[in-house]
Structure 1
Amino acid sequence: MTTRETVQELLRRMGEGDVDRIAALFAEQSEWRFNWPEEGHPSVPWIRPRSSRHDVAEHFRMLGAYHVPELNGTSVARILVDGDDAVVLGDIAQTVETTGRSYTSPFALHLTIENDLITRYHIYEDSLTVARALSDDTRRQAS
């Protein structure tokens, strides 16, 4: 597959929510980065260091468990490809299962594809909005 085809397949599988098939697109070891503090945030347990294919499946399994899949409105505006690298731009729109709060956040996802497998997954999002939507602190709501 080309870089673009691999990215499109990843997005398709993410939309379907099949975590094992998502993980199968990743190299056994990959470089993950979130725009969160290294220790993550106590309200957002799926945000932590990741590197293995098993970690990938766990990440997407946890992400799905904390959100209402039927209310996912995440959209992709653009996919930019340069050789083995791709950047996906869009908006995350989720509803948290436990709080019922919805949130939206622009995102940028930087991927590197080598030998048809994803070796880099760096995601940049509005982490404060996500943390607030999952927090028990109702004094501040995400918009």
Structure 2
Amino acid sequence: MTSRSPSTAELVHLVLARFGATDAAGVARLFAPEVEWRAPDVTSARWTSGIRTRREVESFFLSAFSALDLEGISVHRLLVDGEDAAVLGRMRWRPTSTSDVVDADFSLSLSVHDGEVDGCWLLHDTLAVAMALGAVRTWSP
């Protein structure tokens, strides 16, 4: 008996569930050994793009979870078209260094092949996160 690979929608649900459980290793196991990656570094708001290994994906999530305690995630829309999926939602974070709360919208685009995520594009409110972490300040006259 052979096991079937999860569908794109099932894999997206698994990614979100592991993310919601702040399980960096569990999220990374759902990714292919090499991933086309586009996402801002959580602690610096600097963009990283290119091919990433599964270990680098895990490191990204470990860094995010160590800087920000995830309090909640809600999905507003999930769109699936074959091997591609887009997720629109909102996350609630609390920086581990302060008591501030960050509510940030996000969008996530995933590409799936042979039951593994092989493409990831994460967009979130980097300014709100950077401000909450004290990495930037706004100026008002």
Alpha-carbon offset, residue 46 of structure 1: 8.8
Secondary structure, in 3 states, of the residue corresponding to 1:61? helix
What is the one-letter code of the residue matched to 1:113?
V
Once the two structures are superposed, what CA deviation does each residue of 1:21-59 show, in whole Å capped at 9, x if it has no partner? 11110011101112x4xxx58x53796456110011111
Percent of aligned pairs sharing the same letter: 31
What is the one-letter code of the residue matched to 1:32?
W
What is the one-letter code of the residue matched to 2:76?
A
Residue number in structure 1 paired with 2:57: 56
Quote the RMSD (CA, aligned, Å).
Answer: 2.3
CA distance 1:15–1:119, shift in 2 (3 Å): same
Residue number in structure 2 paired with 1:19: 24
CA distance 1:129–1:112, shift in 2 (3 Å): same
Alpha-carbon offset, residue 13 of structure 1: 1.0
| 1:2 maps onto 2:7 in alignment | yes
CA distance 1:101–1:140, shift in 2 (3 Å): farther
Residue number in structure 2 paired with 1:75: 74
What is the one-letter code of the residue matched to 1:44?
S
Q: Distance in 1 between matches of 2:27 and 2:91?
A: 18
Residue number in structure 2 paired with 1:91: 90
The number of equivalent residue pairs is 133
Q: Taking structure 2 as the reference length, what is the TM-score of the superposition?
A: 0.83
Unaligned runs of 5+ in 1: none
What is the one-letter code of the residue matched to 2:84?
D
Q: Decide which structure has greater strand share.
A: 2
Alpha-carbon offset, residue 78 of structure 1: 1.5
Q: Taking structure 1 as the reference length, what is the TM-score of the superposition?
A: 0.82
CA distance 1:48–1:126, shift in 2 (3 Å): same
Q: Distance in 2 between matches of 1:21 and 1:68?
A: 17
Look at both structures and tell me which one has the larger radius of gyration over its CA atoms. Answer: 2
Residue number in structure 1 paired with 2:105: 106
What is the one-letter code of the residue matched to 1:73?
G
